[in-house]
Structure 1
Amino acid sequence: MNNDDAIRQAVDWIRDADGLLITAGAGMGVDSGLPDFRGTEGFWRAYPTLRHQGFSFEDIANPAGFANNPRLSWGFYGHRLALYRATVPHAGFGILLTWASTMKHGAFVFTSNVDGQFQKAGFDAEHIAECHGTIHRLQCVEACIDEAWPADDFNPDVDKNTCELENDMPRCPHCGGLARPNILMFGDWNWIGQYAERQERALAAWLGSVKRPVVVELGAGRAIPTVRRFSERRGSRVVRINPREYAIPTSVGVGIVGGALDVLQRLDIVFGGGS
């Protein structure tokens, strides 16, 4: 199926749906100016200082760093936290909100992104499942208590030359030990997933109420296929939007080549045009 036919099919599904399930990977944020960590080179373009120090994304996105070099680990995550707070979600988020407003059950988001951009764009926080956690909450490095708390009071000051945190690191209010982001990292045995588990229970309840869902998947790659696999388990009306890895079995859905914002705008033109 070519792109134009796939777009028409996708719009027919969106018009007929009574609920919009949005599944999103890292590619969703690229049009908002967020860095693409796809491959080692993508990570190093965003963090050249860490390239010079010989760190890969897997090295720095690892709980071991908070024991071995906590100022560097917090420099990386602190920079990301400040970046996500300053980022304005692109217009594609608004398009999805508009489509959802026409559906009986609205929208629910399932995302591997930890940036909080869907909440910032106006999506209901109770209808978002963040399967890898969120940078906007903190937890104890030692997981002394099965609880995470908002990061609102932490304002990181990061040295751009060394990628190290310069101000005080956040502490656990329960034991006084070091705190870290409530994000599922590589080789992570201490991630507190209670908050994410509650979100996924809400998602399961929502899915149980929707009779004709359409899935719109945005920027989810094969490297960590959590989002893609989740989409494909949701039935036969999946719209996969991806500039490179857009292939999908025809029994599951349609693939559309392109970036998230561009394709959403093209879909919306057809959606609003009635043809």
Structure 2
Amino acid sequence: MEKNNYQKASNWILTSKYTVVFTGAGISVESGIPPFRGENGLWSKYNPIFLETNYFRAHPKKSWELIKEIFYDFFGQAKPNESHRILAKWEKNKLIQTIITQNIDNLHHEAGSKNILEFHGTAQTLSCIDCNMQYCSKKFLNSLPPHCSDCGGLLKPDFVFFSEPIPTIVHQDSITNAKIADLFILVGTTGEIMPASMIPYVAKENGAKFIEINVNPSKYTKSITDIFLQGKATDVFMKLDKKILSKKEEN
């Protein structure tokens, strides 16, 4: 494992045929969204029981008050940072093909990325737990808990709660992309959240090279990472982007 080899990392990005970027909470920290775990994580301030399916069904108003406060009022103020914007630019320039994100903050979309697999779902839509009718979240959060206009059932955000399975289609699409990637870029992920944490290993088994961008080493750093670029995501992406631009100008 090499450390801070920007020259080699930029070469890999420029010459890769199929690059997948795998993002975790760390990419959004500089947008003002804290991670869930750790000393300053959300779960040090809130009891996450409100995201348990049984608790949500039994106490919908209590759950929804916290869901709205955290995922809509607080997260809703966040804007994409330079990392998100550079990834969107790289996708447009065909330097990356897919983003698999564990985040539900919608910042990749807002930055302009198109080919995004939201592994844990999205806060942008709500679905009825009785009839599965889907709605845009913005229109339904004035009265809590929100209910389905069609059948009156309770509406739930379309992100994965604790103990819920990952939606089959996004799980399978993530595995498919991991299998065909020749370059895999890990950004701001600890490698601790199952089953998302298994996706990079699928890429490794199929011969992908690994660049990791992280403030601190993760579970991947010593096991599958080839180049570890240590630092804040925005700093690292700006350095990488500068290298890539200068290499393009040379050619």
Tell me the TM-score normalized by structure 2.
0.82
RMSD of aligned C-alpha atoms? 2.8
Q: Which blocks of at least 5 consecutive residues in structure 2 are unaligned?
A: none
| Aligned match of 1:231 | 200
| Aligned match of 1:128 | 116
In structure 2, C-alpha distance between the alignment counterparts of 1:43 and 1:249, rounded to whole Å: 27
The match for 1:91 among 71, 77, 82 is: 82
In structure 2, C-alpha distance between the alignment counterparts of 1:153 and 1:64, rounded to whole Å: 25
In structure 1, C-alpha distance between the alignment counterparts of 2:133 and 2:176, rounded to whole Å: 23
Provide the identity percentage.
23
In structure 1, C-alpha distance between the alignment counterparts of 2:12 and 2:106, rounded to whole Å: 27
Describe the superposition over 1:103-122 as per-residue Cα deviations: whole angstroms up to 9, x where unpaired.
27x52111111111111111
The match for 2:232 among 259, 262, 271 is: 259
- 8 Å CA contact 1:128, 1:199 repeated in 2: no
Which residues of 2 match residues 1-275 of structure 1 at below 5 A?
A: 1-5=1-5, 7-39=6-38, 41-43=40-42, 47=45, 50=46, 56-57=47-48, 59-79=49-69, 80-103=71-94, 106-124=96-114, 127-140=115-128, 143-146=129-132, 148-156=134-142, 167-188=143-164, 196-199=167-170, 213-234=182-203, 235-246=207-218, 247-249=220-222, 253-274=226-247
| Aligned match of 1:164 | none
In structure 2, C-alpha distance between the alignment counterparts of 1:232 and 1:201, rounded to whole Å: 14
Q: Which blocks of at least 5 consecutive residues in structure 1 are unaligned?
A: 51-55, 157-166
Q: 1:19 to 1:222 in 2, by over 3 A?
A: closer
Tell me the number of residue pairs that the alignment of Structure 1 and Structure 2 aligns.
Answer: 243
The aligned amino acid for 1:238 is F
- 8 Å CA contact 2:125, 2:136 repeated in 1: yes
The aligned amino acid for 2:228 is G
Matched residue SS, 2:22 = strand
